[in-house]
Each structure stands twice: as C-alpha cells, then as structure tokens.
Structure 1
Amino acid sequence: MSERVLVTGARAPAALDIARSLKTAGFEVHMADCVPARIARWSKAPAAVHRHASPVQQPARFASDIRALIDRLDPIAILPTCEEVFYLAALAEAQGWSDRLVAPQFDRLATLHHKGRFAALCGDLGLPVPTTTVVTDSTSLIGDAAGTDVVVKPAWSRFGAQTLIRPDATALAMLRPTPETPWVIQSRITGEEVSVYAVAHEGRLSAFSAYWSDWRTRGGAAYVFEPLTGPVLDRLRDTASTLAAFVRTGQFACDAIIDAAGQPWLIECNPRATSGVHLFGRSAAFGHALLGRGVAEPGPNIWRNSIMFDTFGVAEALCKKRLPAWHEDRRRSHDILSAPGDPAPGLGALADAAGFGLLALTSHRSLAQAMTADIEWNGQPLTPALWGTP
C-alpha cells in the first residue's frame, strides 16, 4: 500500500505540481482546502480533494476538520503550500503532531513572514538586505520616508499588495501603521528582480530553484518562470543554504534584487510554496526531496501560467508592443496548469478564478485579496483557545 501524503492549499498551481511530483514518486496524494479548488479537484493527480473550514473565519471548525482528516487518512506527512501553514503550525504545536508537518516551527515562520524581522534575521546571518526600518505610527512613517528613495510596504503582506515606491507625503499620510499592523521602510535597490524557492530538511537543502520573469502583473506577481543561470545562481544557492539552517524543515522562498555589480539583495521571504516548484518538472526526485528523501535539481524548461499569460500577457503585449515576444515565449514555455494526460486543471483554474472574481466584487476586495482572505495570517495571536470546540 502506498504511503499517504496530505497537501493543503489545493487552490494553488504550486500545490498541484507538488501533488503531481508526489504521485510520480509513488505516494498516494490527498489534497485539502477551504474553497472548492477545482484546479485540484478536476486533476488526476490527487486520490481525493477534501474540504475544511477556513482557519480565519472558523478556526475551531478548521481545527476539528484537520484533526478528522489526520485521523481518517493517517498521512505520513502534511505539506502546506499557502498561508494556511501558519495555522497548521500553531495547531500542530498545540495538538502534538508537528512531526508530521513539513514546515518550520511557528515562531520561525513568523520571523520569515514579517518583513522587518526577516531583514533583521538576514543581518544577523550576514546576508545582504536593504536597510529596513519598522514603523508603527504615521508620524514616524512620514518623517522617515517622505521624499526619499525608499520602498514602503506592510510588514505582513503578500503579492506586493499596497507597496509604495518613493512615496510622497500625501500618499504616506493615507497610511495608518499601528503596533498590530506595522509597516516597513526599505532603502530602494535597483536592478533585476529574481525569486528563489527551496526545501529544507534538518537544516540542509533538499531542493533549490531560482528564476526570473519579464512578464508580471502590475503588483509584481510573475506568470512566466524562466530558470536563472550564471554566477549569481551559486550565490543565491549559498544564501538559501544559510537560511535553511534557520528554517530547519519546510519550504521557503525569497524575492531578491540583483544590482549592477551582481550582488543579490534579499527583499522579503515567503515561508511557503511558490512558483519555483514548477521548475522541477513534476519529477519523482522532487516528490522525494519534499519529504527529505533525497535531493532534487530543477530542469531547464521555462514555465507559464497559461490563464494569466493569455489574459494579462496579451494585454501587456498589446500595450507595450511586445506581441512578437509574447508569441515566442508562449512557444518555448510549458503550461503549469495542464499536463500530459491531465488537461482539466486548466478549466478548473478558470472556474476558480471566476469564483474568486465574484467574491472580490461582492466583498469589495481586490482579486488578490479575495484569493487569500480566508487563509492569510497578518500577525494576530494564534492561541490554543482558538482551537476549542466549534
């Protein structure tokens, strides 16, 4: 009988490719989320896709649902892929099953997620990071940032949401930082933006990839992922190895800026799965590496999110007269949604996008906010009392 693995955050394309890799490696893969996650439900990769309550909206019910899933499936490992990782880590520590969770301890997750604390950690580890200041009141924010060459963003945020570059006093006056909702001011580094994804087990890397993209949304989210090459790749791998010693076990990803001298500067960290998983080509080696059973290396292929490339990408190509580049990149890249023998997830992703779009309209949120509002964590206490009887 195959060993079972539970992958959470089934809404994410990264989660689906993780499931595909695990299946190729011989595991029985189950997935779970608090939304329909048709991208996974319509795929042939998971044996089943399970539904649980939102950890944000119904934490006690979430805890009950997860406990029931663990009791029923008895997975050898639980692999979070999105921000539910924070809730799972806190819940696992409270209930005593952290040994099954492939994720850092909760306090380490919080340090990695908080942009100010992550910068301080990098400083302690000797890793290059822009000068970063945490502010908790409007007066300090305006005094330190107005008219300077800085980037201002919430300490707890994702997908470049609310990021301001070289903001003026008027823009800063609209912000309301508090001790509970701090912001950070970072000196602005100019250069090429790249991303790193890694898996650590017992403080050592078991998987590492790095990529860049010149196809991005206005908020900065990439939807074409091209493997990074050249001397900087070794420097980024060394950086990831240093961070792996802190992470201990779990997935983590970093955004960095490569300056004109070839120096990578770490900007922020996402302690979860990101698009770097696609570079491993759904290999069995990556499936094993996720569980600490070997080391995986990424392949040379370029990958794209076909839905975003065929919508946002077309719009950008028309506006910026990049249609020849669009056609060429579409020809030479592989789709992260569909796979040979598994074409339906692309349609599932379209259905999911429509659902999130409707939610965004009815809740007066942006699409990015609607896609994560039910799982995101912004520094609020996660105490054992949350996991009481629903």
Structure 2
Amino acid sequence: MARRVLITGARAVAALDIARDFAAAGWEPHLADSVPVRMASWSKAPARVHRYPAPRQQGAAFRARIVELVDTFGFERVVPTCEEVFHLAAPALQCRLGERLFVPNLATLRQLHDKLAFARHCGEWGLPVPDSHPIDSVEDLAGFASRSRKWVFKPRFSRFGDSAQVAPDRRALSAITPSPDNPWMAQARIYGEEVCFLGVAHRGELVAFAAYRSSWRLGGGAGYAFEPVAEHHRETLRKIASRLAQCAAIHGQFACDAMFDEAGVAYLLECNPRATSGVHLLTGAGHLAHAIGDGIAAPEAAPRTLYLGPAMVVFGLPQAVRGARMRDWWRCVATGRDVVSRPGDRGPLLGALCDAASFALTGFKHNISTNAAATYDLEWNGEELP
C-alpha cells in the first residue's frame, strides 16, 4: 500500500503542487482545509480533499479533527502550507502526533515568525540583518519621526506585507498605533534587489532549497511570478539558509525575504516558517516529496520562470497596461509556466478564481482586505496555544 501524506492549507497553490509531487514520488496524497477549496477539489490530481474546523476560532475541534484524520488514514506525514502550521505545532498535537508532524516546535516558530525576534536571533547567529528596533508605543515611534524616510515600519506579527510602511512621511507615521498587544518594529531600509528563498530542513539540515525574485507583485509585496536569481546570489542565499536551518534547528519548511544592497551584500528581512511559492521551483519529479518525507536531499532547482495564472491575468494584466509593461507581461506568460493548471488539468484555474471570489466576499463581510480574509480563520499572532 502506498504511503500516505496529509497536506493542510489546501487553499494555497503550494499545497496542490506539493500533492502532485508526492503523487509523483509514489505517495497517496490527501489535502485538507477549513474552507471550501475548489481549486484543489476540481483538480485531477490524485488527492482526496478533507475538511477541518477553523484552527483560529475552533482550536480544540481542529486538533481533534486532525487526530481523527491521522488515525483513520494512517498518515506518515502531516505537512502544513499556510499559517495552520502554528496550530499544528501546539503542544497537544506535538505530543499526540510526534514525528508525523513536519513542523518545528512552537517556540522555534515564534522565533521565526516574530519579525523582531527573528532579526535579533539572526544577529546572534552571525546572519546579516538590518538594524532593527522594537516599537511598542507611540512614544517609541516618535523617536523616528525626523528620520522615518530611512526606515521600514511593520507589525511584528503580520503577513503579505499589507501593513508595512516603507519610508513613510510624518503623516503616514502618525497613523501607526503600536501597543504591547500590537507590537511593531522599525527596520533600517536597505536599497537594492529584493529576493526570496524557500528551504526544507530535516532536524536542522537543509535538504531542499530554491531562490527566486519577482517583478510582478500585489500591493502588499506578495509576488505572483517567479524568476531565477543570479547564480552567485543563489549560492550566497543557500549558505544563509543552511546556517539558519542549523542554528534554529528547523524541522520543516521555511522561507525568507532578503535584500542584496547596492554593494552586493545580502540582508535577511523576515521569515515565513511555512511553504511559499518557492515550492513550485522544486516540484514535478518527486524530489520535494523525498526531501519532506525522508530527508533525502533534493537536486538543485532548475532555473525557470513560473507564475500563478489567475493572478497574472487578474492583477498582472492591468498592471502591465497601467505601467506600459505589456511586452514584459507577454514575455513572462510566453516563456513561463502556470503552476495552478496543467495540460489536461485546467479545473484548478477556474477553481482558484472561485476561491478568490469567496475570500473577497469574506473580506467584505468582515470589513477586511481579501488578503486578510485568506488567513482570517488560521492566522497566529503570538498567542499561547494548548
């Protein structure tokens, strides 16, 4: 019988691509989420889709459902892709499921997810980070008023870059309302080329790695087209990722945003201790599945251009028209590959559009952005979990 894996956060394109990769490696993949996921359900990928309660609002029921799924289907691995990773790392589930969970413990996740804690730990580990300071009150913020153009301000617990203020003027700075319950940070602004990388680590050893950059982004900074970085930059980032995995004793997936300054020096900006779009550079032949499932090192990711088809049309095309970038847009689409749909499997394309519309409606109901709605039921902002 094939080995079985449960991939959570099925709303993410990364989850579907990871499922495809596990299938290519001979596993039986299952997907799960707390919301209807048409993209995954309408795919021809050989993956069954399950539901669980909202991790953030129904924590106890979520944990019980995960245990039920693992006991029923005998999953060897539980692999998160979104912020449900924090809820899976809750001590109660760690104790119950143990090695089946491909996640670090909650203390490690806190070190990585808290942007200020991440910067401070990286400094202790000898990893390059910009100068960073806590902003816990309006008084802390006032100290930066005369030099705010040289700094980036962001909540310590945030996602997608929605709330970040890059070099704000005094008026924009005064709109920030930090508090002990909503702590912010100030980070020195680095000028240069922004890049990203994804790593997979087994007990502190880097076993898979991909680096990429994106010139097509949403307003908050999240990219939806992914291009290779220069080879020398890739090697620099790989060494950083390897040291980070070792120093933080990471067991799971992690991704970082970084910046190469004008002198070519790399700086780590922040970390997302979960799957990101970098997985698409590693999937296809089962190598990522072998890395996650058994700790077998994956070969170097082939340099290629990939994109999220629905986003490239819905967001990229209007951006191209407004910014006179139609030639760049067409080149990306013509030379790249859509990671949402595949030849013979176009259902996920329509499903992704329907899922996006559903999140937009949720955002409207709760008076929040569509991005915020996409994590409303699972985001974690440092709370204690049982």
TM class by smaller structure? over 0.9
Report what 2:100 is aligned to: 100
For the 8 Å contact 2:162–2:219, the answer to whether it is kept is no
Report what 1:197 is aligned to: 198
For the 8 Å contact 2:19–2:47, the answer to whether it is kept is no
Structure 1 range deviating more: 88-97 or 306-315: 88-97
* Offset at residue 204 of structure 1 (A): 0.9
Structure 1 range deviating more: 91-100 or 361-370: 91-100
CA distance in 2, matches of 1:217, 1:124: 33
Report what 1:388 is aligned to: none
Structure 1 range deviating more: 156-165 or 63-72: 63-72
* Offset at residue 46 of structure 1 (A): 4.2
| CA distances 1:328-350 after superposition (whole Å, capped 9, x unpaired) | 11100100101233221111111
Flag the 1:92–1:20 CA change in 2: closer, same or farther, 3 A.
Answer: farther
CA distance in 1, matches of 2:13, 2:47: 17
Q: Secondary structure at the match of 2:208?
A: strand
Does residue 81 in structure 1 map to residue 81 in structure 2?
A: yes
Structure 2: 5+ residue stretches without partners: none
Report what 2:374 is aligned to: 371
Flag the 1:6–1:146 CA change in 2: closer, same or farther, 3 A.
Answer: farther
Q: Secondary structure at the match of 2:284?
A: coil
CA distance in 1, matches of 2:100, 2:152: 38
* Offset at residue 230 of structure 1 (A): 2.4
Report the TM-score, using the length of structure 1 for normalisation.
0.95
Does residue 315 in structure 1 map to residue 318 in structure 2?
A: yes
Matching residue's letter, 2:264: G
| CA distances 1:210-258 after superposition (whole Å, capped 9, x unpaired) | 0011111121111100121221111100000001111431000000011
Structure 1 range deviating more: 321-330 or 112-121: 321-330
* Offset at residue 198 of structure 1 (A): 0.5
For the 8 Å contact 1:142–1:169, the answer to whether it is kept is no
Flag the 1:6–1:47 CA change in 2: closer, same or farther, 3 A.
Answer: same
CA distance in 1, matches of 2:379, 2:48: 24
Report what 2:344 is aligned to: 341
Q: How does 1:1-390 map to 2 (within 5 A)?
A: 1-93=1-93, 95-148=95-148, 149-245=150-246, 246-296=248-298, 297-382=300-385, 384=386
* Offset at residue 170 of structure 1 (A): 2.6
* Offset at residue 300 of structure 1 (A): 2.2
Report what 1:387 is aligned to: none
Matching residue's letter, 1:290: I
Flag the 1:47–1:309 CA change in 2: closer, same or farther, 3 A.
Answer: closer
Q: Secondary structure at the match of 1:193?
A: strand
| CA distances 1:297-336 after superposition (whole Å, capped 9, x unpaired) | 2122210011111121111111111111111111001001
Structure 1 range deviating more: 360-369 or 95-104: 95-104
For the 8 Å contact 2:214–2:227, the answer to whether it is kept is yes
Q: Secondary structure at the match of 1:348?
A: helix
Q: Secondary structure at the match of 1:96?
A: helix
Aligned length: 383
Matching residue's letter, 2:138: S
CA distance in 1, matches of 2:119, 2:145: 17
* Offset at residue 94 of structure 1 (A): 5.5
* Offset at residue 146 of structure 1 (A): 4.6
CA distance in 2, matches of 1:146, 1:82: 38
Matching residue's letter, 2:382: G
CA distance in 1, matches of 2:66, 2:58: 12
Structure 1: 5+ residue stretches without partners: 385-390
CA distance in 1, matches of 2:263, 2:359: 42
| CA distances 1:248-296 after superposition (whole Å, capped 9, x unpaired) | 3100000001111111110000000000000124221121112234111
RMSD, matched Cα = 1.3
Matching residue's letter, 1:214: S
CA distance in 1, matches of 2:240, 2:276: 17
Give the fraction of aligned pairs with identical amino acids, expressed as a percent: 46
CA distance in 1, matches of 2:2, 2:45: 14
* Offset at residue 91 of structure 1 (A): 4.7
For the 8 Å contact 2:119–2:270, the answer to whether it is kept is yes
CA distance in 2, matches of 1:286, 1:270: 18
Structure 1 range deviating more: 14-23 or 168-177: 168-177
CA distance in 1, matches of 2:284, 2:62: 30
